[in-house]
Amino acid sequence: MATGTTVRWIVRTFSELCLTIGSLIVLFVVYVLFWTGVRADSAMDGELGRLQDRWSTGPVSAASPAPDDDKAQEPARPAYRDGEPFAVMYIPRFGRDWAKPVLEGTATGTLQKGLGHYARTARLGATGNFAVAGHRRTYGDPFKDFPRLRPGDPVVISDGTTWFTYRIDKRPYRTLPSDIGVIDPVPRASGYDGPGRYLTLTTCEPEWGHSHRLIAWAHLDATSPVAEGRPAALRS
């Protein structure tokens, strides 16, 4: 009897432990798949609202020179503040309503509120490489459809005064997280052969992992004042 009672107790305890662990796993999956997305969507909406409020109070700065005017002096612009939004990115390939705030820095908390600008890279529209990171999954899944990017796709970014239209130059490139040359002024493996006004987008690979990175490179194709209305890439 004692042996049978002990066996039943062990089986019952093991079963209850399995149920508890299973419940915790389910709760964790719900948190990762649902709750982080809800929080991130709310945070991104808040950052977009902050930008609109800021831009409605007055102009940010003068418009940038045209992308083919390499000798033009790039205008002075306010410094980007760590963790603060300064632009909005639109990628029509990801949907007509896809719009995400771009914040300064790539800290964990920053990337939970939108896309993050690598602080050591060029400023928006400037000569060099304006590099931006975003989550593939969780926290709103901003770059969930990253592999769908194709050469010629527009990536439009606004700083409240100027529209900057970049064009993707090649399909996403897969590399290791240690390959920091992908955000150099002339990005390694990009195919660019000299200085220019480039955009680099980075995200995790595989979709639910982070062992590798996916990279997309683009060049500045056109600029226009916000006062003239949305650029053609966002009207088609």
Tens-place pLDDT, residues 42-53: 888 899 999 989
State mean pLDDT over 29-34. 50
| Domain boundaries, given as residue ranges, for the chain | 33-234
Amino acid (1-letter code) at residue 73: Q
Q: Is 210 a catalytic residue?
A: no
CB atoms within 10 A of CB 104: 19
Which pTM value belongs to this model?
0.81
Residues 6+ apart with CB under 8 A from 103: 47, 83, 84, 85, 86, 110, 113, 114, 115, 116, 117
State mean pLDDT over 145-165. 98
> What is the sign of the dihedral through the CA atoms of 9, 15, 19 and 21?
positive
Average pLDDT of the chain is 85
Q: Is 18 a catalytic residue?
A: no
* SS3 (DSSP) at 41: helix
The catalytically annotated residue of 77, 135, 136, 197 is 135
CA distance 145 to 106: 20
Q: Distance of alpha carbon 108 from its chain centroid, rounded?
A: 12
Q: What are phi and psi of 68, to 5 degrees?
A: -95, 5
pLDDT at 28: 47
Q: Is 204 a catalytic residue?
A: yes
Residues 6+ apart with CB under 8 A from 30: none
Number of H helices, E strands in the chain: 3, 9
pLDDT in tens, 79-111: 899 999 999 999 999 999 999 999 999 999 999
Spell out the alpha helix ranges (H) of 115-169: none
CA distance 93 to 214: 16
CB–CB of 147/214 below 8 Å?
A: yes
Q: Which fold has domain 33-234?
A: Sortase; Chain: A; (2.40.260)
Q: Report the chain's terminal Cα–Cα distance, integer Å.
A: 79
**Residue pointed to by tokens 């002024």:** 185
State mean pLDDT over 222-236. 94
What percent of the chain shows pLDDT beyond 90? Answer: 66
Beta strands in the chain (DSSP E): 85-90, 99-104, 115-117, 128-133, 154-158, 162-168, 173-175, 197-205, 212-225
State mean pLDDT over 166-180. 97
